Amino acid sequence: MMEMGRRNFIAALAGTVAAWPLVARAQPAKLPTIGFLGPNTPSLDSHRVGTFVQRLRELGWIEGRNVAIEYRWGEGRVERLAELAAELVRLKVDVIVTSGTRQVVAAKQATSVIPIVFAAVGDPVGTGLVASLARPGGNVTGLSLQATDLAAKRTGLLREVVPGLRRLAIMANSDTPAAVVEMREVQATARTLGLEMVTAETRRPEDLAPAFEAFKGRAEALYVSNDPLVTTHRIRINTLALGVQLPTMYNVREFVEAGGLMSYGPSFLDLYRRCADFVDKILRGAKPADIPVEQPTKFEFVINLKTAKTFSVSCQAICF
């Protein structure tokens, strides 16, 4: 009886071992995975993400079916970016999608192998993210905002809108390379227009209130350079600007929707839509180094009419 039991055990064990390869083959294959490193919060970036995902679907990539997306959110805190980027690298995602110079730098420092696609960066060449627009090289490509090229246009619009503008306040985060480049361009344009300037650097939320105290009575309009900090606190910034009677100029429409006076710049929804095309190419085998950086093709000039009335700005002067 013992011999019979041993034979049955061995036979059962052999059957189990023989089945192992079949079990292994039955495991579902890992879906291609996109690591999405968002600079802000899910609620702030929901429209942009929705546009990106919708375009992926149009290209045949359906989240949860034939592609996975791992989301990580910076929530406006730049100190978290390195950790979040490293986390995506540990997950062995196939491509990292992000937006903003600081976010791209964090991703680039985390990996030199995984492709990185940026939906929007102010000046990717000037900040050293790519070698050139036509030949980015390395593992990074995407869409450039050309923010410095537009800084002069925004400054000129403020001059047209604010009667008798003589003194311009400029708010920028000097820890953000693209903001530094943009601020230099604004200052150069302001000098050309004969404007006096007062500047404030805002690296942390605690810097915002003191900045507006410094602006009070010393400027007639405010130019705000975009970065995750000011995006996260855009409602507070607009409230502070209203308190010291400063009409505001921004890069993107979300600030105007939150109560700012006006913005002029590329359509971020369009940029995120086009970003999906880059991801599609990479998931199908293209190399980032071989995909030229593209520039904006769709621009928006957005005005908050309610805020314009608050500042007694004539809509006729700016609606063209």
**Over the stretch 213-229, which tens digit does the pLDDT of each residue have?**
999 999 999 999 888 78
- C-alpha 275/C-alpha 277 separation (Å) is 5
CA distance 214 to 102: 27
The pLDDT of residue 316 is 52
Among 6-20, 52-66, 154-168, the minimum mean pLDDT is found in: 6-20
Dihedral, CA of residue 156, residue 157, residue 159 and residue 162, to nearest 10: -170
Q: Which amino acid is at 223?
A: Y
pLDDT at 2: 45
pLDDT of residue 137: 92
DSSP designation for 32: P
Q: What is the pLDDT of residues 19-68, one digit of tens each?
A: 444 444 444 578 999 999 998 889 888 999 999 999 999 999 999 999 99
> What percentage of the chain carries pLDDT values higher than 70?
88
> Which pTM does this prediction carry?
0.78
Q: Report residue 170: phi and psi, to 5°.
A: -130, 125
Q: What domains sit in the chain, N to C, each tagged with a CATH number?
A: 33-146+267-297 (3.40.50.2300), 147-266+301-318 (3.40.50.2300)
